[in-house]
Amino acid sequence: MPLREDDPESIGGYRIESRIGTGGMGVVYLARSASGRAVAVKVVHTQYADDPEFRARFRQEVAAARRVSGAFTAPVVDADPEAALPWMATAYVPGDTLAQRVAAQGPLDWPRLKRLGGELAEALREIHRAEVVHRDLKPSNVLLLDSPGGTGGDDGSGGGDGGMTRVIDFGISRAAHSDVRTQTGLVMGSPPFMAPEQFSSPRDVGPPVDVFALGALLVYAATGRSPFEAENAYLAAYQTVHNDPELGSLPEELRPLVMSCLAKSPQDRPTPVQVLGVLAALPDAPSEARSGSLPDAPSHTAPDADTPSEPRERTGDATSEPRERTGDATFALSTAATARRPRRGRRFKVALVGAVALAALIGTGVSAAFLGGTEPATAEAGDAKAGVPAGWKPWHVAAQKDEDGMMPSSESCTPHAQGVYCSSPTTALTRRDPLTGKVSWTKPLHRPKQVSGYSVTDPVLGAGAVFVYSAEGSGGVDAYDARSGKRLWRLPGPHAEFQFLSGVLVVHKGELGASPTSTYAAYDPRSGRELWSHEVTSDAAGAFYAGPDGTLFADLRLAGRKGAPGSSEIARYDARSGRKLGATKAPKGDLWLATVHEGKGYFARWEDGSGVSSRFFIQDLTSGKVRGIDFPWAVEPEAPPLVRGDAMYLFDYANETVLALDLKRGKPLWTTSRELRIFSEPSVRGDTLYATMPDSSVIAVDTRTGRERWRSAPSFTDPEDPKGGSVDDRSPSGTAPLALKGVIYGVTDEGTFSVAAKARGGAGAKR
């Protein structure tokens, strides 16, 4: 990766040669010592250099990494945590991360899989002997040397018998007996590779959490998926705590060992030494019954940052639709968000629980007349002026806890002008009155005795109807009238996902799998009549996006496979007839089509497979004209950016901030403070941005300056800790607050609520 103009020439006497990657907290460079030794230098981002909390964490990382030695970790060469920009140099390991290797070449074969397990177990043995717990062992923190045999070189990484594996990034590790507390702003782990106790008792974790991660990594390396794969980190956490792992095509010989590593109780897991003993006794080849069962790797060429290749959506470990195991049956998760999120499987930090229902509501031109009135949602500019609707009072409804009383139940809610709509494992759909929060009506599962499971999805609204997924039979889509709750029609499944776009319901038919060819169909939202059906070949997880004037855009980009040509086409269709109206070529490079707004496509570029981005490309999807925008630092755009007028607002969920950019000038406008801790996707009304906070309050921010205007009181408080306490085990909400006629509606882990928007500058405008 080439250097940028503002990159340093040297750090601590090490000459910088190129960038290796960029993360949410820093940049990693390839550098040389005075003697010519290659090292990897990690430099903290400028905005964290003055943060005492982060400096303490960085000192802890350096200390932990220095304590660890062995053939399968990258040793620390030098460090200066007290420098103006803290840095650490480790031996350079020339290779890919396990995530990059699996994404580019597919699952590992048996010899490499067995060897990976043994070398990871040896690495954990040495880490634990140093009384360090890694706590974040995942595919992007495991490096594989360029040569699987481990060839030597001048990098100090080992060779010959040095192995092919290196464990890196001790950024959240700690001494096994340390009493270091979880600090605000940093997430301790990465679902779905975290152990159950990291969710239920995060301050009491020990070495067994790394053994659990080892088991999950073996499943990932063998199948391309985590054993607890899910659409978002909340579901991954829930499945980790409650469900059995999905082992897929994991070779039979490894299953007993992996299941013991993935035991729910830490006491039931083996030690790294015991893992080594079991692996050593396994045969050099899998049994004939399992031989050849690993899926073939797709023929992909690794992207080159200097020479952009034909673009495709990076899939990482998410090569098929996430599934939730319920009893004897599994059902594909179906949400409006699936096609809108990057399916990289690279960074699963705090969750994005909701879908993009708010974006669909605003972006597709659905009328938002409140409570049957005639005032459109766009009539109000910014904060409340006309007061709240007659009869409204603030309300909140707490989410029910699961059967263990530990985590919220998997109820999923969408606020809308016509009500707050929720689905759950026991109820197909519930409408709450937006004035009172009370239940207006409930629609049960149609044939509960025939349903052995239910995949909860955010209700999707459009054209006066509500669409939900039902697990009845083989699964399907149910449509209800948004006001009366009358069932309008049902589309039997299976279906991978559905979205309301440009006035029609677009359904991805069948279960989403590894095949690039899928069938999409559009339906009239009120009658359920099929309008058109197309077979689509694309690498995108969800191909269609809403366009202006009743059009749809389809991401038809496809990497070449086995001699077949690829495609770089973004096509335009008539939403009602399905007729193709035109096409343009997408920008080159490894890009994710994050969103489409007013006929323009917004593409995020990944930083060398790191899961973060520091550049967007904006393309007119009619003329094909492209321009780029650089971010002031690398962000993690796990959800689509919000585009309003000449500004783009992006929720950087790793740092819990909102970044605003001026699209005309291509410059950043402002960013919220990390100490503020934005805890949801944002929404914008007029010149005010709204977001929820960790304590379930709502904050209003001036879109021109980024300054806080006011903040509501929290809607939920813990009686045992009324001041809020630690929120590090909570998940940011993927559902943005909805502002309608002086009222703000929000969805958090704690439940749903409504609060009054405060008049600008009015009494109590800021706590």
3-state secondary structure 124-176: HHHHHHCCEECCCCCHHHEEEECCCCCCCCCCCCCCHHHCCEEECCCCCCEEC
Instruction: For residues 532 and 717, give the distance between their C-alpha atoms in angstroms, rounded to a whole number.
Output: 49
Name the residue with tokens 């009493």. 179
> With b meaning 16 or more CB within 10 Å and e meaning fewer, what string describes 155-179?
bbbbeeebbbbbbbbbbbbbeeeee
The torsion of the CA quartet 101, 107, 111, 116, rounded to 10 degrees, works out to 60
Q: Where are the domains of the chain?
A: 10-298, 338-756
pLDDT at 406: 46
pLDDT at 695: 86
Q: Which two tokens stand for residue 714?
A: 């929290």
Mean pLDDT by 10 residues, the chain (767 residues): 78 88 75 87 79 76 74 81 87 85 90 94 88 86 66 39 73 42 41 83 81 96 90 72 89 94 93 92 68 31 30 30 27 28 29 29 30 33 58 87 52 88 84 94 68 62 89 77 93 84 91 72 95 89 88 88 75 95 90 90 72 79 89 68 90 82 86 83 92 91 92 79 49 84 88 85 41
Domain formed by 338-756, architecture: 7 Propeller (2.130)
Q: Check: CB of residue 465 under 8 Å from CB of residue 525.
A: yes
Bridge partner residues of 26 (DSSP): 44
**Type of residue at 626:** V
What order do you get walking across the sheet with 460-462 strand by strand?
Answer: 460-462, 465-470, 476-481, 487-492
Where are the strands (E) in 450-555, listed by range? 460-462, 465-470, 476-481, 487-492, 495-501, 504-509, 517-523, 530-537, 544-546, 551-555
- Of 370, 229, 298, 339, the closest CA to residue 515 belongs to 298
| Residue 610 CA to its chain's centroid (Å) | 13
Q: What is the DSSP letter of 271?
A: P
Q: Check: CB of residue 748 under 8 Å from CB of residue 733.
A: yes
pLDDT at 434: 92
pLDDT at 68: 77
Q: Please give the CATH superfamily to which domain 10-298 belongs.
A: Transferase(Phosphotransferase) domain 1 (1.10.510.10)
- Of 438, 559, 608, the closest CA to residue 96 belongs to 608
pLDDT at 732: 74
User: What are the CA-CA distances from residue 375 to residues 218, 379, 611, 689 (Å)?
Assistant: 56, 7, 42, 21
